[in-house]
A and B are shown apart, each in its own frame.
Chain A
Amino acid sequence: MSIDKNTVKKVAGLARLRLSDAEMEKYAGQLNNIMGFIDQLNEVNTDNVEPLPSPVDMDLPLREDKVMDGDCADAVLANAPESVEGFYVVPKVVE
């Protein structure tokens, strides 16, 4: 399987990364190389093997449904590139 420039373009779009033509060429080559290296995983028989999402065997803990923290909008917004009256500001998304 080969990853061409069009695939790179599609993946970059999914990842919300604007890439130049030169970058797309470069990543196409490198991704092919890396995915080729990764393809050796196909040698391993994994029939009836359960995927391991986390190395530590532990149930996800639940906590009581009550407010533990909050009321700190100013601190939360302090690092925002743009905010107004307690809200983040983004470019207009509806016409």
Chain B
Amino acid sequence: MTELTHLTLAETLEGLEKKEFSAKETTQAHITAVESAKHLNAFITETPDLALQQAQESDDRRAKGDVKPLDGVPLAIKDLFCTKDVKTTAGSNILGNFIPPYESTVSGNLLRDGAVMLGKTSLDEFAMGSSNTTSAFGNVISPWKRTGNSNLDLVPGGSSGGSASAVAARLCLGATGTDTGGSIRQPASFCGITGIKPTYGRCSRWGVIAFSSSLDQAGVFGRTVEDCAIMLKSAAGHDPKDSTSAKKDVPDWPALLNGSVKGMRIGIPKEYRMDGMPEEIEKLWQQGIEWLKASGAEIVDVSLPHTKYALPTYYIIAPAECSSNLARYDGVRYGIREEGENLNDMYEMTRAKGFGAEVKRRIMIGTYALSSGYYDAYYIKAQKIRRLILNDFLSAWEKCDALLTPTAPSAAFAVGENEDDPIKMYLNDIFTVPSSLAGLPGMSIPAGLDKDGLPLGLQVIGKAWDEQTVLNVSRAVEEAAQFTALPQLATRKAA
């Protein structure tokens, strides 16, 4: 039998159904894998006892014939989702020993459907970063290494780097992530796995610690498109506790999943051909186009003329919303407190001590952009350009059904690289930010390896609420790419 940690989520559900193994067995196999991979630092909090208890409950349910859609599947939860009675940090020191008295809707939905929680994965502090090097709990390491005797530690991408590293290293069958400007898709690309950010409003934000509320959207990581479809179906759905959660039925994505793109029109946005983009990424993109063409899709050239303004627009809107959202960390209601001479002093000392450098930088940008005299020039201006960016996509949909682009402008870089200049780091999200601003669903699929043996992803972007097309086109890419490479530091299969 294949080692349990190397099965897909779909295969695991099948094996459980056929009683080839129990939820407890697969959970124990994953707990052992987590214990053996501490050097990746993928988890902030591990919950093995809780996982085994949930697995036992799952086995009991199955014995009685009461089986739920994710029953017995060991998953990891990004530590931005509040989990009842389990410490939640957002990757920051400021939350101290915060133990949520409630469960986020998304993690609650997964647990309702029988999932087993292995622990809480690390992330860039408050999900602000593209490298998972801004976490207060240390860098997360990718399980991938460059070939040729390079022992350099590589970043898993960010902000959902712990989840991506854990799924790639076979420590869990899937994981949740959140994506504000690319925080699911870019780490999925860096780690050679699949990850989907659904349409804004598809997954409830209730209980997800807020960074930029008009952009934040929960999603999932898996090792296959099908696994993502299964998890997303459980995670999504209307929630009256989130006023931006859409009152829409959740389609049966996994049942409707097929890789048929015959007759589909796939748009190739010319503005995504960036100067200085590595040739390998350009080649892989061309390869993706050929794959879809060979599968019967029609390739259409489209233009998204405001693409180059997406990053500067994002770096007004996201920090502005962040400065407002993070005002709640005041040393009064939760988290740490630094005593001061008076109330204001206490606020300033607490926030100075609790926040890391990147979070402080973004609070400063946002506060500046929202401050008196600059609000119209920056914030309103950015919101206007945000509409132009959305309009670009709406025009594109007149000519095509989905877009194919690279996910990120490079493969994973080494820990410490790109740290000297914030803008250089921000450029990681150049292909993911525009669709985030437009609220559109996007998915990254591993499509090939670069010259150093590192994974590269392709991204499929779809119309609002059309996750099915995104999943189906992604499935077609997946079938053509046949990506089977394993990271060097993944837990090994039994010989």
Contact = CB atoms under 8 A, between A and B. Distances in A.
Contact of B346 (A3, A7, A14, A91): A91
Contact of A88 (B246, B332, B342, B438): B332
Contacts of B361: 27, 30
A63 B342 CA distance: 39
B387 A81 contact: no
Contacts of B346: 90-91
A58 B313 CA distance: 22
A66 interface: no
Interface in B164-209: 199-201
Most buried by A among B247, B334, B384: B384
Interface string B332-357: 11111101111111111101100100
A81 B337 contact: yes
Given A18-B348, A46-B384, A41 B368 contact: no
Nearest to B201: A56
Given A16-B348, A91-B346, A41 B309 contact: yes
A51 B343 contact: no
B371 A16 contact: no
A56 B244 contact: yes
Interface in B205-260: 214-215, 240, 243-244, 246-247
A18 B352 contact: yes
A60 B346 CA distance: 36
Interface in B379-415: 380-388, 390
Contact of A49 (B378, B384, B438): B384
Given A17-B363, A51-B387, A91 B437 contact: no
B416 interface: no
B343 A90 contact: yes
B62 interface: no
A41 to B, nearest CB: 5
B352 A50 contact: no
Contacts of B336: 81
A25 B309 CA distance: 28
Contact of B382 (A27, A41, A58, A79): A41
A80 B364 contact: no
Nearest to B316: A38
Contacts of A51: 380, 383-384, 386-387
A80 B333 contact: yes
Contacts of B214: 53-55
A11 B90 CA distance: 24
Contact of B368 (A3, A52, A78): A3
B168 to A, nearest CB: 30
Interface of B: 96, 98-99, 101-102, 199-201, 214-215, 240, 243-244, 246-247, 306, 308-309, 311-313, 315-316, 323, 327, 330-337, 339-349, 351-352, 355, 360-361, 363-365, 367-368, 371, 378, 380-388, 390, 421-423, 437-440, 464
Given A44-B306, A55-B200, 8 more contacts: A15-B351, A17-B364, A31-B364, A34-B423, A41-B309, A41-B316, A46-B381, A51-B386
Interface of A: 3, 7-8, 10-12, 14-19, 23, 27, 30-31, 33-35, 37-44, 46, 49-56, 58, 60-61, 63, 72, 75-76, 78-82, 88, 90-93
26 contacts: A8-B364, A14-B367, A15-B323, A15-B363, A18-B352, A27-B364, A30-B361, A31-B364, A34-B315, A35-B368, A37-B423, A38-B378, A40-B308, A40-B309, A42-B381, A49-B387, A51-B380, A51-B387, A52-B383, A54-B439, A55-B200, A56-B244, A58-B201, A76-B101, A80-B333, A81-B337
